[in-house]
Structure 1
Amino acid sequence: MASTISPEAAQWKEETYSLFFYGTLLHPAVLKRVIGHGGDTLHHRPAILLNYTRHHVKGDTYPAMLPWDKARELFLFSGQDPSKEPTPEQRSVRGSLVSGFSKLDVELLDVFEGDEYERCLVSVVPLGTSRLLNEAASDAGVMFESMDITSDDQPQTIKAHTYIWNKPPAGTLEPEIWSYETFVRENLHHWIGAEGKSTDVDRTAYLEVDQWREQNKKSEIERRRERNMSAMEQRSYGSVPKPVVEACRKIQDTIESRPDHFMRIELEPAMDNVRNRLAKVINARDVDEVVLVPNTTHGVNVVLNNLRDTWTKDDALIGFTTTYGAVAATLRRYTDATPHPALHTINLTFPTTPDKIVKSFKEFVQATFPGRSLDGNSTQQVVAIIDGIISVPGVRLPWEELVKICREYGIISIVDAAHVIGQVPLDVQKVDPDYLITNCHKWLYAHRACAILYAPQRNHHKLRCTFPVSWGYKSPPEEFSLAELYQWTGTADFTPYLSINAALDFRERIGGEERIQSYCHDLACKGGARMAEILGTELLDKDHLLTACMVNVRLPFTKEEAAGLPPAIVHDMMQRLLKDWHCAASVYGHGGYLFALP
Structure 2
Amino acid sequence: MATTQPTPFGKPMLKHWLFDPSYKNLNHGSFGAHPAPVRDAQRAFLDIADLRPDPYIRKQHTKILDKARQSVATIINAPKEECVFVKNATTGVATVLYNLNFQPNEALIYFEPVYGAVEKGIVSMQEHSPFQARKVNYHYPITEDELERRFRETVTRARDEGLTVRAAVFDTIVSNPGVRFPFEKFVTICREEGILSVIDGAHGIGQIPLDMSVLQPDFLTSNCHKWLYTPRSAAILYIPKRNQHFMRSTLPTSWGFIPAAGSAETIASVLQDPTAAKAQTPFEELFEFVATSDDSAYICVEAALKFRKEVCGGEEAIMAYCQKVTNEGADAVASILGTEVLQEPGLKSGEESRMRACALTTVRLPIAVADDLDLADLSLGEEKNRPVEGGSRNSVFSGGGSCFCRTLMEKFDTFVSTFQHGPWLWTRLSGQVYLEKADFEWLGGILRELCEQIARNEY
TM-score, with normalisation over the residues of structure 1?
0.58
Question: What residue in structure 2 maps to residue 231 of structure 1?
Answer: 25
Distance in 2 of aligned mates of 1:230 and 1:499:
25
Task: Mark the CA change 1:480 to 1:515 in structure 2 (over 3 Å): closer, same or farther.
Answer: closer
Change (3 A) 1:379 1:597: closer
Query: RMSD of the alignment, in Å?
Result: 2.3
Tell me by how many angstroms 1:296 deviates: 0.7
In the alignment, structure 1 residue 552 sits paired with structure 2 residue 367:
no
Distance 2:216 2:160 in 1: 24
SS in 2 for 1:402: helix
1:67-87 CA distances to partner (integer Å, 9 max, x unpaired)? xxxxxxxxxxxxxxxxxxxxx
Structure 1 unmatched runs, 5+: 1-218, 372-377
Give the AA of the match of 2:138. L
Instruction: Give, in whole Å, the separation in 2 of the partners of 1:521 and 1:473.
Output: 41
Measured in 2, the distance between the counterparts of 1:511 and 1:456 equals: 31
Choose the corresponding residue for 1:266, options 48, 53, 60.
60
Within 5 Å, give how 1:15-414 maps onto structure 2: 222=18, 224-227=19-22, 229-284=23-78, 286-308=79-101, 311-338=102-129, 340-369=130-159, 380-414=164-198
C-alpha distance in structure 2 between counterparts of 1:558 and 1:432, whole Å: 41
Q: Give the match for residue 565 of structure 1.
A: 398
Matched residue SS, 1:557: strand
User: How far apart, in 2, do the equivalents of 1:491 and 1:422 lie?
Assistant: 28
Contact 1:318–1:384 (8 Å) recurs in 2: yes
Q: Is the 8 A contact 1:436 1:455 kept in 2?
A: yes
User: Higher relative CO (CA 8 A, sep ≥ 6), structure 1 or 2?
Assistant: 2
SS state at 1:280 partner: helix
Q: Distance in 1 between matches of 2:88 and 2:124?
A: 19
2:277 equivalent in structure 1: none
Give the percent of matched residue pairs that are identical in Structure 1 and Structure 2. Answer: 36
- 1:434 is matched with which residue? 218
Render the CA deviation track for 1:358-412: whole Å, top value 9, x for unaligned: 34323432444369xxxxxx99352211111111011111111111111111111
In the alignment, is the contact (CA less than 8 A) between 2:158 and 2:164 conserved in 1? no
Deviations 1:225-258 (A, max 9, x none): 322x111111111021122122222222222222
Residue pair 1:563, 1:592 contacting (<8 A) in 2 also: no
Instruction: Look up the match of 1:191.
Output: none
Residue 270 of structure 2 corresponds to which residue in structure 1? none
Return the alpha-carbon distance in structure 2 between the equivalents of residues 544 and 582 of structure 1: 32
Measure, in 1, the Cα distance between the counterparts of 2:396 and 2:257: 50
- Per-residue Cα deviation, 1:552-595 (whole angstroms, up to 9, x for no partner): 1111213547764234xx22211221121111210111121101
* Match of residue 338 from structure 2: 536
- Are the structure 2 counterparts of residues 314 and 345 from structure 1 closer, same or farther at C-alpha, using a change threshold of 3 Å? same
For residue 492 of structure 1, what is the aligned residue in structure 2? 293
Residue number in structure 1 paired with 2:206: 422
Amino acid at match of 1:333: S
The answer (yes or no) to whether the contact 2:231–2:300 under 8 Å persists in 1 is: yes
C-alpha displacement at 1:540, in angstroms? Answer: 1.2
- Could you tell me whether the CA contact under 8 Å between 1:354 and 1:545 is conserved in 2? no
Amino acid at match of 2:143: T
What SS does the corresponding residue of 2:420 show, helix, strand or coil?
strand
Q: 1:383, 1:411 within 8 Å by CA — same for their partners in 2?
A: yes
User: Distance in 2 between the 1:381 and 1:463 partners?
Assistant: 19
Structure 1 distance, partners of 2:369, 2:118, is 28
Aligned counterparts of 1:584 and 1:484: Cα–Cα separation in 2 = 40
Alpha-carbon contact 1:525-1:544 (below 8 Å) kept: no
Pick closer, same or farther for the CA change 1:379–1:555 going to 2, 3 Å. closer
Do the aligned residues in 2 keep the contact of 1:316 with 1:344 (CA within 8 Å)?
Answer: yes
Distance 1:320 1:407 in 2: 17
| CA distance, structure 2, for counterparts of residue 249 and residue 583 of structure 1 | 27
- 1:346 and 1:226, CA in 2 relative to 1: closer, same or farther beyond 3 A? same
Is 1:503 matched up with 2:304? yes
Do the aligned residues in 1 keep the contact of 2:158 with 2:165 (CA within 8 Å)? no
Label 1:480 to 1:277 Cα distance change in 2 as closer, same or farther (>3 A).
Answer: closer
SS in 2 for 1:596: strand
Which letter maps to 1:458? R
Q: Relative to structure 1, is the Cα distance of residues 531 and 468 closer, same or farther in structure 2, using a 3 angstrom cutoff?
A: same
How far 1:342 moved relative to its partner?
1.4
Matches within 5 A, 1:423-502: 423-477=207-261, 481-502=282-303
For structure 2, the residue ranges without an aligned partner over 5 or more in a row are: 1-15, 263-279, 345-351, 372-394, 430-459
Alpha-carbon distance, 1:499 to partner: 1.5
**Pair 379,517 (structure 1): closer, same or farther in 2 beyond 3 Å:** same
- In 1: Cα distance, 2:222 partner to 2:302 partner: 16
The number of aligned residues is 365
Tell me which moved more, 487-496 or 346-355: 346-355
Would you say the 8 A contact 1:353–1:546 is kept in 2?
A: no
After superposition, the C-alpha distances for 1:485-537 in whole angstroms (9 at most, x for unaligned) are 11111111122111111111111122111111111111111011111112222
TM-score (norm 2): 0.75
Q: Distance in 2 between the 1:277 and 1:425 partners? A: 15
**Structure 1 residue 513 and structure 2 residue 315: aligned?**
yes
Once residues 263 and 544 of structure 1 are traced to their aligned partners in structure 2, the CA distance between those partners, rounded to angstroms, is: 47
Q: 1:267 & 1:368 partners in 2: Cα distance? A: 46
Distance in 2 between residues matched to 1:555 and 1:566, nearest whole Å:
13
